[in-house]
């Protein structure tokens, strides 16, 4: 466990996190067995998507070529048997490289002798595992637990300036780059309970389901035409990202338009008012609750008696008998909110986004859309709000609520092939979902959509 992050939390929250760490460790101990861990990883749906991608798209006769240092070209993809189970890698290896001529035969399958597929003993040797046996990691915690710690740290001890820590600096610059180059960002909030059985098992099924859907949504752009043309849609389409460092992200919001980051006056930057930053802070919630779901602590101020009555040593011994009975062993829980971002990238901005919004509406019990950011750096979005509106004298300058309504009215009769058609339908759908309150970003280069209760 990261001692620095742990000690930045209030004493009572530290105690709860130590109990959670012990309980989750007991429940997930089976994952530490190499055979079980590798089986679970290789049977994961994401791993199947990875293998399908390898088989269907990264072919050695692809027109996407890498150049070696000697000037010769090399295939974009070299078959790696470790990407597949031993028997499967043996069966498909001749597709990529003939055992006799050492020449790719992907494009000559009709003339290929199928007997060559089985010309070697598939059990002749054990293939090395795709997952390394070494346990070297830059993170002292599993990713699931590390994210929770980051969320709690941002809530109790938010940074007032960017620390000179490489990981945090990279996050800060990545956030700024995302804000500058992403036309549409959707912000989701999920409510969580620390000692839920799924959380103790390091499983977030609603998030896994959403991530799987996002992957399926991205796969629609993985076609032969896009591969041959090198279309940016292959990599830049729809993406789902955890937003755990809210304090770093808020500083990225307020510095997005700055061309130089040298000698920043952080006290002045922190005084900048931005509606999105305020909403993200408002929705951060961390509460200690008892067995009746009554809030007993809102700011980590539970009395010392709380720790004395629930010593870690006694709880750890009880957990050894049955860690799944944690709610009887430790009659408290921690409620907290987490954020995710969905980015709609520039290459797909003219696509139909109704499928994504419909799916988010179906998962509204799990995820609440708290805000949408529309970048005016994008010509299509900027034109949506300004075309056909510049001549109107009825729209007061800066009144974005009226501007949005006027933009909707002016685009109601758009033809399906109009470049603004899908933007118009997307914003209309967001309004129907309750995101009808409009505000301008502090950097003057974006528009926010919020629900009416923000």
DSSP notation for 148-171: HHHHHHHHHS--SS--S-HHHHHH
Q: Indicate if 226 and 96 belong to the same structural domain.
A: no
Contact call for residues 103 and 4 (beta carbons, < 8 A): no
| Predicted local distance difference test score (pLDDT) of residue 109 | 47
Q: Indicate if 183 and 113 belong to the same structural domain.
A: no
Q: Indicate if 402 and 268 belong to the same structural domain.
A: yes
| Predicted local distance difference test score (pLDDT) of residue 40 | 62
Per-residue pLDDT of the chain (454 residues; tens, 9 = 90+): 467 788 889 888 999 999 999 888 888 775 656 666 666 666 666 666 666 666 665 554 444 444 444 444 444 456 677 777 677 777 777 766 544 444 444 444 445 455 554 554 444 444 444 444 444 444 457 888 999 999 999 999 999 999 999 999 999 999 999 999 999 999 999 999 999 999 998 889 999 999 999 988 988 887 656 666 667 777 789 999 999 999 999 999 999 988 888 888 999 999 999 999 999 999 998 999 988 888 886 555 556 677 778 888 888 888 877 877 888 889 899 999 999 999 999 989 988 899 999 999 999 999 999 999 999 999 888 887 776 444 444 433 445 566 666 655 555 555 666 667 788 888 888 988 999 888 989 988 999 999 877 7
The two structure tokens encoding residue 19: 């109990």
DSSP state of 251: H
Q: Checking DSSP bridges between strand 368-375 and strand 437-440, what pairing results, if any?
A: unpaired
Residue 385 inside a domain? The answer is yes
Residue 129 inside a domain? The answer is no
Residue 109 inside a domain? The answer is yes
DSSP state of 33: S
The two structure tokens encoding residue 313: 């040593």
Q: Indicate if 98 and 234 belong to the same structural domain.
A: no
Q: Indicate if 48 and 192 belong to the same structural domain.
A: no
Which of 60, 86, 118 is where one domain is finished?
118
Contact call for residues 1 and 15 (beta carbons, < 8 A): no
Helix boundaries (H) for 187-325: 197-200, 205-219, 224-229, 246-255, 266-270, 275-283, 304-309, 312-321
Distance from C-alpha of 124 to C-alpha of 206, rounded to nearest angstrom: 42
Domain boundaries, position 383? 161-285+317-450
Q: Residue 286: which of 376, 152, 423 has the closest Cα?
A: 152
Q: Indicate if 92 and 168 belong to the same structural domain.
A: no
Contact call for residues 293 and 334 (beta carbons, < 8 A): no
Residue 5 inside a domain? The answer is no
**Can you tell me which residue has the tokens 């993170």?**
139
Which of 64, 83, 118 is where one domain is finished?
118
**CA-derived radius of gyration, the chain:** 26
Contact call for residues 131 and 41 (beta carbons, < 8 A): yes
Residue 372 inside a domain? The answer is yes
| Predicted local distance difference test score (pLDDT) of residue 43 | 65
CB atoms within 10 A of CB 299: 13
Q: In sequence order, which residues have a C-beta less than 8 Å from that of residue 437 and are 6 or more positions away?
A: 401, 449, 450, 451, 452, 454
* Cα→Cα distances 308→179, 297, 298, 350, Å: 46, 16, 20, 59
Q: Indicate if 114 and 194 belong to the same structural domain.
A: no
Q: What domain count does the chain have?
A: 2
The helix (H) or strand (E) run that includes residue 5 is: helix 3-7
Distance from C-alpha of 167 to C-alpha of 139, rounded to nearest angstrom: 11
Q: Residue 250: which of 281, 223, 205, 224 has the closest Cα?
A: 281
DSSP state of 65: E
203-212 burial code (b ≥16 CB/10 A, e <16): ebeebeebee
Residues facing residue 74 across a β-bridge: 66
Count of CA atoms in the C-beta half-sphere (13 A) of 169: 5
- 57-111 pLDDT tens trace: 555 444 444 444 444 444 445 667 777 767 777 777 776 654 444 444 444 444 5
SS3 of residue 9 by DSSP: coil
Residue 74 inside a domain? The answer is yes
Residue 139 inside a domain? The answer is no
Which of 64, 98, 118 is where one domain is finished?
118
Rounded to the nearest 10 degrees, the angle between the axes of helix 143-156 and helix 11-27 is 170
Q: Indicate if 197 and 54 belong to the same structural domain.
A: no
Q: Indicate if 279 and 422 belong to the same structural domain.
A: yes
| Predicted local distance difference test score (pLDDT) of residue 123 | 41
Contact call for residues 246 and 281 (beta carbons, < 8 A): yes
DSSP state of 127: P
Residue 444 inside a domain? The answer is yes
Q: Indicate if 184 and 113 belong to the same structural domain.
A: no
Q: Indicate if 91 and 169 belong to the same structural domain.
A: no
Q: Indicate if 344 and 412 belong to the same structural domain.
A: yes
Contact call for residues 343 and 178 (beta carbons, < 8 A): yes
């Amino acid at each position: 466990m990261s001692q620095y992050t742990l000690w930045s939390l209030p004493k009572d929250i530290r105690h709860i996190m130590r109990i959670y760490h012990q309980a989750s460790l007991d429940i997930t101990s089976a994952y530490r067995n190499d055979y079980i861990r590798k089986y679970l990883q290789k049977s994961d749906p994401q791993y199947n998507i990875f293998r399908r991608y390898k088989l269907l798209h990264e072919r050695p006769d692809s027109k996407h070529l890498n150049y070696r240092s000697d000037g010769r070209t090399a295939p974009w993809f070299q078959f790696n048997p470790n990407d597949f189970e031993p028997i499967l890698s043996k069966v498909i290896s001749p597709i990529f490289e003939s055992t006799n001529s050492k020449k790719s035969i992907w494009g000559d399958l009709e003339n290929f002798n199928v007997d060559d597929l089985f010309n070697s003993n598939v059990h002749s040797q054990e293939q090395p595992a795709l997952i390394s046996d070494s346990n070297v990691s830059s993170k002292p915690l599993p990713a699931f637990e590390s994210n929770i710690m980051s969320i709690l740290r941002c809530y109790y001890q938010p940074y007032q300036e960017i620390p000179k820590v490489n990981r945090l600096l990279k996050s800060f610059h990545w956030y700024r780059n995302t804000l500058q180059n992403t036309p549409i960002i959707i912000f989701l909030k999920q409510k969580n309970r620390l000692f839920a059985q799924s959380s103790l098992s390091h499983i977030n099924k609603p998030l896994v389901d959403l991530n799987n859907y996002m992957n399926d949504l991205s796969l629609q752009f993985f076609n032969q035409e896009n591969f041959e043309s090198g279309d940016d849609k292959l990599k830049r389409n729809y993406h789902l990202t955890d937003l755990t460092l809210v304090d770093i992200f808020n500083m990225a919001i307020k510095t997005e338009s700055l061309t130089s980051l040298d000698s920043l006056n952080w006290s002045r930057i922190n005084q900048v008012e931005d509606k999105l930053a305020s909403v993200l802070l408002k929705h951060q919630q961390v509460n200690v609750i008892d067995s009746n779901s009554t809030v007993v602590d809102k700011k980590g101020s539970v009395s010392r008696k709380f720790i004395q009555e629930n010593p870690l040593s006694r709880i750890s011994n009880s957990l050894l008998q049955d860690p799944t009975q944690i709610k009887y062993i430790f009659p408290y829980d921690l409620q907290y909110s987490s954020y995710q971002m969905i980015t709609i990238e520039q290459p797909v901005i003219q696509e139909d986004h109704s499928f994504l919004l419909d799916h988010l509406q179906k998962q509204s019990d799990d995820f609440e859309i708290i805000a949408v950011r529309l970048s005016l750096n994008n010509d299509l979005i900027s034109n949506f709000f300004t075309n056909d509106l510049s001549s109107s004298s009825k729209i007061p300058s800066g009144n974005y609520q009226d501007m949005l309504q006027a933009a909707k009215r002016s685009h109601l009769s758009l033809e399906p092939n109009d470049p603004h058609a899908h933007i118009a339908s997307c914003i209309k759908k967001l309004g129907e979902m309750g995101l009808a309150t409009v505000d301008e970003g502090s950097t003057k280069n974006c528009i926010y959509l919020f629900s009416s209760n923000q």
